[in-house]
């Protein structure tokens, strides 16, 4: 398997995925196609697996909630921040479930 496969899901489903084993990163973005592409490059970690994405009206609020769910389940080990630094604007929140191939 190479690269990340984009999978659109509901927010409810995204929370469940964030709490499961293999979920390694949580984030938010306005352009999820570009963000998924950047994570596949060696400088972005060379991730492989699935890139689950859900639409939201408030990226900061939703990302904070998904981060908390992930952290409370002992997941999201590749996250550098414990809270969102996103804007309170519409966009997308994502969870990467897979592996990081590059440092």
pLDDT band at 1 (very low <50, low <70, confident <90, very high): very low
Gap between the Cα atoms of 71 and 101, Å rounded: 22
Q: What is the residue extent of each domain of the chain?
A: 4-99
Backbone angles phi, psi at 93, to 5 degrees: -115, 145
Gap between the Cα atoms of 30 and 45, Å rounded: 20
28-71 residue pLDDT tens: 999 999 999 999 988 888 899 999 999 999 999 999 999 999 98
Gap between the Cα atoms of 36 and 13, Å rounded: 19
Q: Taking the model in full, what pTM does it have?
A: 0.91
């Amino acid at each position: 398997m190479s690269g990340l496969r984009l999978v659109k899901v509901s927010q409810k489903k995204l929370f469940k995925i964030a709490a499961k084993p293999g979920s390694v990163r949580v984030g938010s973005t306005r352009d999820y196609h570009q963000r998924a592409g950047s994570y596949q490059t060696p400088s972005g970690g060379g991730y492989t697996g699935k890139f689950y994405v859900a639409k939201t009206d408030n990226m900061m609020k939703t990302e904070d909630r998904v981060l908390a769910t992930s952290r409370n389940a002992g997941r999201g080990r590749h996250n550098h921040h414990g809270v969102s630094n996103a804007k309170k604007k519409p966009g997308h929140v994502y969870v990467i479930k897979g592996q990081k191939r590059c440092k």
